[in-house]
Amino acid sequence: MKIIRSPAAMTAWSEGLRRAGVTIGFVPTMGALHEGHRTLIREARLQCDALVVSIFVNPTQFGPQEDLAKYPRPISHDRAICRQEGVDVCFEPTAEAMYPAGFQTTVTVPAVARRWEGEARPHHFSGVATVVTKLFGMVRPHRALFGQKDFQQSVLVQQLVKDLNLGVDIVVRPTVREQDGLAMSSRNIYLSPDERARAVTLYKSLQAGAEVIKVGDTDAKAVRSVMDQVVTRESTITTDYLAVCDPRTLEPVSFVTSRVVLLGAIRLGSVRLIDNLLVNAPRRAS
């Protein structure tokens, strides 16, 4: 496996392969790789001839009060996973190479980024959209894989690629979960044992909402209220948002008449967790 740090060297490697007709798969990450990333890497390995994984903790998507400084950076562990999964290039640019002196162009994010994470984390999605655009420009992949865990990010990236004609095929893969249902995330390591035991509450709340829909209640208020009850039973958890939304626009719906996404964000102590579930409205008997 090659480790490339310079953006120019990354592009030169990819351009050489593109000219030879090789399809390049790409999994962008911030490192601290877990089973969720491994699943994306395996899928990309199957779908493409050559495979690049980027590891870059992108400073511009963190708010001033967020965890940029303490974000886990286990680079030897990450490289070992990449080697095990047959990655061809681990792209590890420095912050100086990504944002050199004089850098000034950023991507303004679309409406799908306005609510939910966009409200809770101002500038986050502009940072994500900008770095993803830059990484695509450097890696020149044919296809890039993202996890459904960051649902709003995946919708944003699809919109970005379409609006800016980036010419990358975006594949979104289902969330990988721990045995109890907690969505895998690099930030789960921040949870104390007690918080870890309670962290599954968010998934339980989404599941409870999905059950309401499955038994035929189409009123989004009723779905939300059941989701809310599950979280408020845990006095140490605070809700950032629980929502029933259109999965394309991420606008809240009043009634569940087709596929919806249940979105949630909670706080346990200083840890913030997000999760989501896609749910189909049950077919009406005719």
User: Is 124 a known active-site residue?
Assistant: no
- Residues 140 and 18: beta-carbon distance below 8 Å: yes
- Give the residue with the Cβ less far from ligand PAF, 152 or 212: 152
The residue annotated as part of the active site, out of 34, 37, 124, 142, is 37
- Give the residue with the Cβ less far from ligand PAF, 131 or 223: 131
- Give the residue with the Cβ less far from ligand PAF, 182 or 253: 182
Those residues whose C-beta lies under 8 Å from the C-beta of residue 53, and which sit 6 or more positions away, are: 26, 27, 28, 29, 37, 41, 82, 87, 89, 90, 91
- Token look-up 């999964």 returns 85
Element (H, E) at 206: helix 201-214
Minimum gap (Å) between residue 54 Cβ and ligand PAF: 7
- Give the residue with the Cβ less far from ligand PAF, 7 or 209: 7
Minimum gap (Å) between residue 131 Cβ and ligand PAF: 5
Minimum gap (Å) between residue 132 Cβ and ligand PAF: 6
Lookup: tokens for 268? 């346990």
| Closest to 205 in 3D by CA, of 251, 266, 129 | 266
Backbone angles phi and psi of 235, in degrees to 5: -65, -20
In this structure, the dihedral spanned by the alpha carbons of residues 203, 206, 212 and 217, taken in order and rounded to 10 degrees, is -170
Minimum gap (Å) between residue 43 Cβ and ligand PAF: 15
Site residues for ligand PAF per CB under 6 A: 28-30, 58, 61, 128, 131-132, 150, 153
Minimum gap (Å) between residue 279 Cβ and ligand PAF: 23
- Give the residue with the Cβ less far from ligand PAF, 128 or 226: 128
Sign of the C-alpha dihedral, residues 244, 245, 251, 254?
A: negative
Backbone angles phi and psi of 230, in degrees to 5: -65, -40
Compute the distance between CA of residue 264 and CA of residue 261 in angstroms, rounded to an integer.
Answer: 10
Name residue 12's beta-bridge partners.
Answer: none
Which residues are annotated as catalytic?
37
